[in-house]
Amino acid sequence: MPSITFIHHDSRAETVSANDGDSAMYTALLHGIDGITGECGGGAVCATCHVYVDDNWLGKVGAVGADEDELLEGVVSERLPNSRLSCQIKITEALDGLVLRLPERQV
């Protein structure tokens, strides 16, 4: 199972294992990671699963979709070049070791 490390805004790190095919958001909720809200449950509606992808992984998580790009305009914490919605990052073996940083706020 691929592992994902979530780094909280206060630098605390939590590493969890993910099911192949789940989204990063779903993995976070499954493991009770505070800092991912996921109000819409993965429907790409709410922009409350915002993450900053670690630079080393930016090339591997795929591109931002057009709808996601518009949603990212609505995130509460600052949008940065490495901002993504974690519901749109599908976990595969190729992402084993992925590092995602959490913003200060989601809502």
Contact 16, 106 (CB under 8 A): no
Kindly state the smallest distance separating residue 102's Cβ from another protein, in Å: 15
Among candidate residues 51, 93, 41, 42, the one with its CA nearest the CA of residue 72: 51
Burial label, 13 (beta-carbon count in 10 A; 0-12, 13-18, 19+): exposed
Distance CA(67)–CA(97), nearest Å, equals 27
Which residues make up the interface to another protein (CB under 8 A)? Answer: 29-32, 37-41, 43, 45-47, 67, 70-71, 73-75, 107
Kindly state the smallest distance separating residue 51's Cβ from another protein, in Å: 15
Nearer to another protein, 52 or 59 (CB): 52
Kindly state the smallest distance separating residue 66's Cβ from another protein, in Å: 10
Nearer to another protein, 21 or 59 (CB): 21
Nearer to another protein, 61 or 85 (CB): 85
